Amino acid sequence: MDTGLTGRTVLVPGSTSGLGLASARAFAAEGANVVIAGRRAELAAAEAEALASSPGAAVGIECDLTVTGAAERLVEQATDAFGAVEVLVLNSGGPPAGSALDATPEAVEAAMLTLVQQQVRLVRAVLPGMRQRAWGRIVAIGSSGIQQPLDNLALSNTGRAALAGYLKTLAGEVAGSGVTVNMVLPGRIDTDRVATLDQARADKTGASTSEVRRTAEAGIPVGRYGTPEEFAAAVVFLASTAASYITGEQLRVDGGLVRSY
């Protein structure tokens, strides 16, 4: 399938590891010009350099989206590197695990800053250009917790659900201008983040991490954790020209974990 992404500028924040990095690599493989961004400047540069043999080009940029003005500066730097951002992948690290009973207003505010406010700033920075060119893709990396809240992840459930509401509303407002807005919802994908959550559950229950993983896998119809590459393929598809008639949707990549449609 021709994704139509060759030469397009793709911005992927939080892409020095995990699902963001897997997505950046997948876009580069399709010939896109990819901006890898993260708090660790050396790692961002190293990951961009590692993509030198890919069909597409890549550049690494240091960025801490919790800093005032960082979102806007990142878009400017991406534009300086490769031209106007045509694909924006919304991605951020997850907040600490914890129950709803333990969630404080301060913790909720911090989660909303990371998971919602800075994502909105990124959208606002790229959207005018996308609408003017009558082509753009916004794909958010969310969580299956949006559709089925996850135990002990109250802050993530809250923030990501808020972002989902914003993006669904936005999708309807910009659909007529050639811009699509979608979300990809991971279940248990084999990343460092999920390993950390498994360790936290092991510490809480007294089970070993291998026991926690086996229990989790038993609840997934496919019977295993997904790979970052499997997840990234869905992100690339929704950004492709083949997905031009798909907008306002949430695509789960979870091996059947969430049992509802």
242-259: b or e for each residue (b if 16 or more CB lie within 10 Å)?
ebeeebbebbbbbbebee
Residue 87, H or E segment: strand 87-90
The answer as to whether 212 is a domain residue is no
Measured at the CA of 144, the angle between CA 8 and CA 250, to 5 degrees, comes to 45
Query: Which residue has 């794909």 as its token pair?
Result: 139
| Three-state secondary structure call for residue 246 | coil
Query: Which residue has 């190293």 as its token pair?
Result: 46
The answer as to whether 4 is a domain residue is no
Number of independent structural domains in the chain: 1
Bridge-based pairing state of the strands 58-62 and 33-38: parallel
Average pLDDT over residues 121-148: 97
The answer as to whether 122 is a domain residue is yes
Average pLDDT over residues 216-224: 96
pLDDT of 1 higher than 90: no
d(CA 39, CA 144): 25
Query: Which residue has 């969430």 as its token pair?
Result: 258
pLDDT of 204 higher than 90: no
How big is the chain, counted in residues?
Answer: 261
The answer as to whether 120 is a domain residue is yes
> Which residues have C-beta within 8 Å of that of residue 115, sequence separation ≥ 6?
92, 95, 156, 159, 160, 162, 163
What is residue 261's predicted lDDT score, i.e. its pLDDT? Answer: 83
Let me know: does 146 contact 257? Beta carbons within 8 Å: no
Instruction: Take residue 125 and report the two structure tokens written for it.
Output: 């920075």
The answer as to whether 68 is a domain residue is yes
The answer as to whether 259 is a domain residue is no
Query: Which residue has 């009973």 as its token pair?
Result: 101
Model confidence band, residue 93 (pLDDT cutoffs 50, 70, 90) = confident
Q: What is the CATH number of the domain that holds 231?
A: 3.40.50.720
d(CA 171, CA 158): 20
pLDDT of 260 higher than 90: no
The answer as to whether 217 is a domain residue is no
The answer as to whether 257 is a domain residue is no
CA-closest candidate to residue 161, choices 99, 108, 96: 108
Average pLDDT over residues 69-80: 98
Domain that holds residue 140: 9-187+226-252
